[in-house]
Amino acid sequence: MSLVADDVVVTYGRKGSAPALDGVGLTLGKGSIVALVGESGSGKSTLARCLVRMREPAAGRVSLDGTDLLTLRGRRLKAFRRRVQMIYQDPYESLIPRQRVRDIVAEGLAIHGVPKGERDGRVREALMAVGLTPVESFLDRRPFELSGGQRQRVAIAGSLVLEPAYLIADEPVSMLDVSVRAGVLSLFGDLRRTRELGILLITHDLATAVHVADRIVVMHRGKIVEEGPARRVTAEPAHDYTRALLAATPDLGRP
Ligand SMILES: Nc1ncnc2c1ncn2[C@@H]1O[C@H](COP(=O)(O)OP(=O)(O)O)[C@@H](O)[C@H]1O
Ligand SMILES: [Mg+2]
């Protein structure tokens, strides 16, 4: 069971311009966290979009449990959308300001035809799972009545409520106050364990990656330059670019 990118190429704009992704391969298994790191512009979000089928690769393929995403239509595409969820960087932008938490979290349930009678219970369960307790005190709040960390938790609950198998989280803590980042990251760790989620954690920050990820994949200019177990990549980086990223990471750069 895995979500796999295989030799994926994406080029924006005119023919002949440098590809945003230049033959990228990546495997995300259930119950594991893979951190995708690299500086801004290295192609991380482009790969994320390919993995959730928001963008078609020009070459190569992306598959879920062996099925090429591009072959999915109708009901099977809808099932895919439910199984593979994207979490965005800015929870404020991804939430509708006037909606209440209960409606934000329930939205996907309506879209996917979950019977009305089941929705309330599912919403409460998801809020519990993301640590927004007591649930009663959050149900009727609106985004502006929440902290940044709480907003990101609401967004995560809105995905979890659909019982996905994979989360593609594109810089999920980089807009958050430093003081709440660790809490949200350890939530991803919990979800991996308790729900066997496969999580792609995109970040430009290696320090973020090493604490929660099993594997680290390093991207540079549309190519993967290094990958391996998180501790190995940070302790013994094999590539110059990884070393440069480490040097730019204050709490990892020096032993
Ligand atoms: N919609 C787009 N149109 C044109 N170029 C894009 C678009 N999205 C990204 N790019 C370019 O593709 C490259 C990779 O971008 P992106 O995947 O957003 O990188 P990252 O998420 O690592 O910052 C960059 O050079 C960026 O300018
Ligand atoms: Mg990005």
Burial of 227 (0-12, 13-18, 19+ CB in 10 A): buried
Q: How confident is the model at residue 254 (pLDDT cuts 50, 70, 90)?
A: very low
- Please provide the CATH number assigned to the domain covering 2-253: 3.40.50.300
% of the chain at pLDDT higher than 70:
98
- Alpha helix ranges (H) inside the chain: 44-51, 74-83, 91-94, 101-111, 116-129, 136-139, 148-160, 178-195, 206-212, 230-235, 240-247, 250-253
Tell me the per-residue pLDDT of 74-97, one tens digit each, with 9 for 90 and over. 999 999 999 999 999 987 777 888
Task: Indicate whether residue 43 lines ligand 1 (CB < 6 A).
Answer: yes
Query: What local confidence, expressed as pLDDT, does residue 1 receive?
Result: 86
Q: What is the pLDDT of residues 122-176, one digit of tens each?
A: 999 999 999 999 999 999 999 999 999 999 999 999 999 999 999 999 999 999 9
Q: Which atom of ligand 1 is nearest to the CA of 170?
A: 21
176-203 tens-digit pLDDT: 998 899 999 999 999 999 999 999 999 9
The answer on pLDDT for 110 being more than 80 is yes
pLDDT over 70 at 241, yes or no: yes
Q: Ligand 1: which atom is nearest the Cα of residue 13?
A: 4
Ligand with smallest separation from the Cα of 39 = 1
Considering the entire predicted model, what is its pTM? 0.95
Q: Which of 56, 54, 60, 72 is nearest to 25 (CA)?
A: 60
